[in-house]
Amino acid sequence: MRIVLPGGEHTLREPVAWERPAGPPRGRVVYAAAHVVADPLGDNTPGAPAAVDWDATLRFRRHLWSYGLRVADAMDTAQRNMGLDWPATRELIRRSAAAAAELGDPAELVACGAGTDHAPGAATLEEVTAAYTEQAEAVREAGAGVILMASRQLAAIARGPEDYHAVYGKLLSQADRPVILHWLGEMFDPNLAGYWGSRDVAEATASFLELIREHAAVVEGVKVSLLDADHEVALRAALPEGVRLYTGDDFNYPSLIASGSHALLGIFDAIAPAAAAALAALDAGDTARYDEIMGPTVPLSRKIFETPTYHYKTGIVFLAWLNGHQDAFTMVNGAQASRSLPHLAEVFRLADRAGLLADPEMAVHRMRSLLAVHGC
């Protein structure tokens, strides 16, 4: 099957029938950070309250669980701070945890982001702490695990590491079970530059490690998204025993997972079938097969996450649409317009090369309809 795309004609490969694993990976704890499906008939124009297609959104989470992956929900992949407002986020947390409870312990199957985005005016450390506490309690009440997301409000008012320690120390002292800490780099959100109290990564890392060591009993793991493999390996080695390093490096994840990192990745939303097969191979000690599967997903991921990295959600949703997980290529906050047609065409090519177009006929039909809308 062929399709004419911007940049030239593309001949599609035969589809890959990825087998669902018998269970979750044994050697790694793996979360796919999941996107939300916008209601195509809702007013999801920029600045409007998020209108979500809840049935399709939950159906996609069941798709991820069916491949043995956990779900990281209500995070940046779900457009936190980029269109998913707190009322919709709170409902997402409740619904995702309830869906997870149908399959097992929701605290094991889904972890949700708790942040401060519903309190944009928070101007003191006490107000930031209160905002975090409100969201964390909503996650706990739903029965999901808690991920303490990086806070734009804290980044704006913190004077140094001591302010981060004051806020996070209070939050961790309140934790009724271990939580995941999230370090999101400024390439994902420019408002988070200098997180943990310094723009110098070494100094910020020292502050981060000090916090973790003080509260290791209630830190289940740390999710690091700095796109720096060497830094991640060094940080992983420095963590207290029992604290997991969840890679958030969507550029270098195959080698980092192979060398010992666990995973919490937005790209796993798009590559779940291949990722599950690769992780099964890793469990079996077949590193050649692991590399064979993971290798072609890396160019795809690097394209989706290319600068400006924070627009990666558009490529994630685009692939979900091509693969029939949702009926429309539309996003909350109108974010489907955040990437160009040539960019999306290259995502199409790379997804096909990685064996990630489940139904090529459907994908070609949908891609041609998108091309037609753009006058191609």
- pTM: predicted TM-score of the whole model, two decimal places: 0.96
Q: What is the pLDDT of residue 131?
A: 98
Name which of 95, 39, 38 is nearest 71 in CA terms.
Answer: 95
Name which of 340, 295, 293, 296 is nearest 318 in CA terms.
Answer: 340
Whole-angstrom distance, CA of residue 46 vs CA of residue 150: 23
- DSSP line for 133-198: HHHHHHHHHHT-EEEE---HHHHHH--SHHHHHHHHHHHHHH-SS-EEEEEE-TTT-GGGTTGGG-
List of residues 6+ apart from 201 with CB closer than 8 A:
226, 228, 231
Q: What is the pLDDT of residue 127?
A: 98
Number of C-beta neighbours around residue 373 at 10 A: 10
Q: What are residue 73's DSSP bridge partners?
A: 112
Q: Is 272 left (phi over 0), alpha (psi -120 to 50) or beta?
A: alpha
Q: What is the pLDDT of residue 207?
A: 97
Q: Which amino acid is at 64?
A: L
Number of C-beta neighbours around residue 292 at 10 A: 13
Number of C-beta neighbours around residue 232 at 10 A: 23
Instruction: For residue 124, give the DSSP letter.
Output: S
Name which of 326, 374, 315, 375 is nearest 350 in CA terms.
Answer: 315
Whole-angstrom distance, CA of residue 208 vs CA of residue 357: 40
Instruction: For residue 76, give the DSSP letter.
Output: G
Query: How far from the centroid of its chain's Cα atoms is residue 325's Cα?
Result: 17
How confident is the prediction along the chain (376 residues), in pLDDT tens digits per residue? Answer: 999 999 999 999 999 999 999 999 999 999 999 999 999 999 999 999 999 999 999 999 999 999 999 999 999 999 999 999 999 999 999 999 999 999 999 999 999 999 999 999 999 999 999 999 999 999 999 999 999 999 999 999 999 999 999 999 999 999 999 999 999 999 999 999 999 999 999 999 999 999 999 999 999 999 999 999 999 999 999 999 999 999 999 999 999 999 999 999 999 999 999 999 999 999 999 999 999 999 999 999 999 999 999 999 999 999 999 999 999 999 999 999 999 999 999 999 999 999 999 999 999 999 999 999 999 9
